[in-house]
A and B are shown apart, each in its own frame.
Chain A
Amino acid sequence: MWTWFFQLASPPHFYRMAGSLVPWLLWPALLLILIGSWGGLVLAPADYQQGEGYRIIYVHVPSSYLSMMVYVTMAVAAGIGLIWRIKLAHAVAASCAPVGATFTAAALITGMLWGKPMWGTYWQWEPRLTSELILLFLYFGYMSLRSAFNDLNQSDRASAVLALAGVVNVPIIHFSVVWWAGLHQGPSISKIDAPSIAFEMLWPLLVMILGFTLFFLGVLAMRVRGEVLEREFHARWAQDVLRGANRVEAAG
């Protein structure tokens, strides 16, 4: 089990394996997102309260789900890198941050667009959007700390500590925001009533979530490959890869 693990964590092996994995993640992701969009935008009926406007959940909910999931993935990878000193784990954490921040921004923007027809305003200080905003700050803090160091090794370990401190805080922040919002406007209107949601509305959502997750994993694999190549720049295998790439470019 451990030998397998360390073999996987060896950069050249990972580079090859992730490379062959990328199409197996991205093509199904595209397919699922297309099916989900068709199901959500065409097949699902209009909501009796919100009309057609609710359909933005098919982008909003997967984005907001992934914004949290990516943060947790990042923190777990950072923790593994810090404790077991596995460089690949640090590369994964580093690659997660911009992707997660993008999903968070997408969740915020779609949330605001949805807010316009629902509340009559783009922004409402309600718990979900507020938490999402704070999460965006956490991502920015992580990324700017990462870029502040000259030494990569130091940068990896320092940002790992921050990611772990952040992940301990995320539930606390979420809980306080819910409590704070509850004081101000009473129980907020839940956007999706989970039990009562119609099956025709639900299945495209689940398909979209799955599609977005595969998309994230595919993008992550691509980013980690680039990150590993940059970090191992001086190693022979990386030089071989780069020389190969140059040859292809020269040929094309």
Chain B
Amino acid sequence: MNLGLGQLFWVVLQRDLMVAMRRWSDICNPVVFFVLVVSLFPLALSPRAEFLRALAPGVLWIAALLAALLSLNQLFRADIEDGTMEQMLTLPYPLGLVILAKTLAHWLVTGLPVVAVAPMLAITYHLPADAIGVLLLSLLIGTPTLSLLGSIGAALTAGLRQSGVLLALMVGPLMLPVLMLGARATDIALGGDDPTGPLYLLGALLALALSLAPPAAAVAIRISAD
């Protein structure tokens, strides 16, 4: 191997970020979609402050989950189509690490912006400051888990032509625990109770996904590139 594992991770991460930076729409779309979904609820239901406050944790988390599901479709697709993945498969590097780097790059350009605008949207839902803090923390721990879980599904469907709905159908159910824990943590904070329990559980899920998802996605990518 010509590169250490840390260097490999950095080289892949850097390249994916560079590719993403050249296409601004890829970065903006998930965030704009997130904002759009969140703004639908007051319009469709009711703009009353106490009603929106009760709704906020669930709505923000569902919108974050949908934004993640929509953006995941592109995670490995281009690499499979343009032959980059064939190169990664024939180079002497551990594929799991390459996938982890790519997933991190993907989260940085699609997940992190969503987390960043969430507090602003929470204000429009009249969420109190401490609940916003918990929401931010839960999204920060939870959305990487969504990306990691999604990387398995994205790897499985990367070679298929029409896969958007299929991907959502496959990984949506797997993402439900993250949604329940994240939304509930915020809800608990809103009720004035201590949300550390579900936050720890979210952290545990992240650790589990970090260790299991990249190898699973690596197996899946080999199948898709076949």
- By a beta-carbon cutoff of 8 Å, the part of chain A in contact with chain B is 82, 134, 137-138, 140-142, 144-145, 148-149, 151, 153-154, 157-158, 161-162, 164-166, 168-169, 172-173, 175-177, 179-180, 183
B171 contacts across to A, CB distance below 8 A: 141
B163 contacts across to A, CB distance below 8 A: 148
A176 and B181 CA atoms in complex are apart in Å by: 7
Nearest Cβ in chain A — how far from B79, in angstroms? 17
User: In the complex, what residue of chain A is closest to B183 when comparing beta carbons?
Assistant: A180
Q: Does A169 lie within 8 Å of B223, measured CB to CB?
A: no
B201 contacts across to A, CB distance below 8 A: 176
Q: Would you call B170 an interface residue if the criterion is a C-beta within 8 Å of the partner chain's C-beta atoms?
A: yes
Q: Does B180 lie within 8 Å of A176, measured CB to CB?
A: yes
A sample of 25 cross-chain residue pairs with beta-carbon separation below 8 angstroms, ordered by A number, consists of: A134-B176, A137-B169, A138-B174, A141-B170, A142-B170, A144-B166, A145-B156, A148-B160, A148-B163, A149-B160, A151-B226, A154-B223, A154-B224, A158-B156, A158-B223, A158-B224, A161-B216, A162-B156, A162-B170, A165-B152, A165-B216, A166-B174, A169-B177, A176-B177, A177-B180
User: A-side binding surface: helix, strand, loop or mixed?
Assistant: helix
A111 and B72 CA atoms in complex are apart in Å by: 35
Q: Does A183 lie within 8 Å of B184, measured CB to CB?
A: yes
A52 and B143 CA atoms in complex are apart in Å by: 48
A153 contacts across to B, CB distance below 8 A: 226
A24 and B169 CA atoms in complex are apart in Å by: 38
Most chain A beta-carbon neighbours within 10 Å: one of B169, B173, B177: B173
> Which chain B residues in 161-187 approach chain A with CB under 8 Å?
163, 166, 169-174, 176-177, 180-181, 184
User: In the complex, what residue of chain B is closest to A151 when comparing beta carbons?
Assistant: B226
User: B-side binding surface: helix, strand, loop or mixed?
Assistant: helix
Q: Would you call B212 an interface residue if the criterion is a C-beta within 8 Å of the partner chain's C-beta atoms?
A: yes
A147 and B208 CA atoms in complex are apart in Å by: 29
User: In the complex, what residue of chain B is closest to A155 when comparing beta carbons?
Assistant: B223
Q: Would you call B118 an interface residue if the criterion is a C-beta within 8 Å of the partner chain's C-beta atoms?
A: no
Nearest Cβ in chain A — how far from B182, in angstroms? 11
Q: Does A161 lie within 8 Å of B223, measured CB to CB?
A: yes
A148 and B223 CA atoms in complex are apart in Å by: 14
Q: Does B172 lie within 8 Å of A137, measured CB to CB?
A: yes
Nearest Cβ in chain B — how far from A202, in angstroms? 33
B224 contacts across to A, CB distance below 8 A: 154, 158
Q: Does A158 lie within 8 Å of B220, measured CB to CB?
A: yes
Contact status of A161 and B156, CB under 8 A, knowing A168-B212, A176-B181: yes
Nearest Cβ in chain A — how far from B81, in angstroms? 16
A179 contacts across to B, CB distance below 8 A: 180
Instruction: Give which listed residue, B166, B172, B208, contacts A145 with CB less than 8 A.
Output: B166
Q: Would you call B5 an interface residue if the criterion is a C-beta within 8 Å of the partner chain's C-beta atoms?
A: no
Q: Would you call B205 an interface residue if the criterion is a C-beta within 8 Å of the partner chain's C-beta atoms?
A: yes
A144 contacts across to B, CB distance below 8 A: 166, 169-170
Q: Does B205 lie within 8 Å of A172, measured CB to CB?
A: yes
Nearest Cβ in chain B — how far from A113, in angstroms? 24
Q: Would you call B157 an interface residue if the criterion is a C-beta within 8 Å of the partner chain's C-beta atoms?
A: yes
Q: Does A161 lie within 8 Å of B219, measured CB to CB?
A: yes
A134 contacts across to B, CB distance below 8 A: 173, 176
Nearest Cβ in chain A — how far from B70, in angstroms? 17
Most chain B beta-carbon neighbours within 10 Å: one of A134, A142, A148, A164: A148
User: In the complex, what residue of chain B is closest to A145 when comparing beta carbons?
Assistant: B170
> Which chain B residues in 13-54 approach chain A with CB under 8 Å?
none
Q: Does B177 lie within 8 Å of A137, measured CB to CB?
A: no
Contact status of A140 and B166, CB under 8 A, knowing A134-B176, A165-B152: no
A164 contacts across to B, CB distance below 8 A: 216
Nearest Cβ in chain A — how far from B215, in angstroms? 10
A154 contacts across to B, CB distance below 8 A: 159, 223-224, 226
The 7 closest A-B pairs by CB, nearest first: A176-B177, A141-B170, A137-B173, A157-B223, A180-B180, A141-B169, A161-B220
A161 and B180 CA atoms in complex are apart in Å by: 24
A162 and B163 CA atoms in complex are apart in Å by: 15
B201-226 Cβ-contact flags toward A at 8 Å (1 or 0): 10001001000100010011001101
Nearest Cβ in chain A — how far from B80, in angstroms? 13
> Which chain B residues in 91-122 approach chain A with CB under 8 Å?
none
User: In the complex, what residue of chain A is closest to B174 when comparing beta carbons?
Assistant: A169
User: In the complex, what residue of chain A is closest to B220 when comparing beta carbons?
Assistant: A161
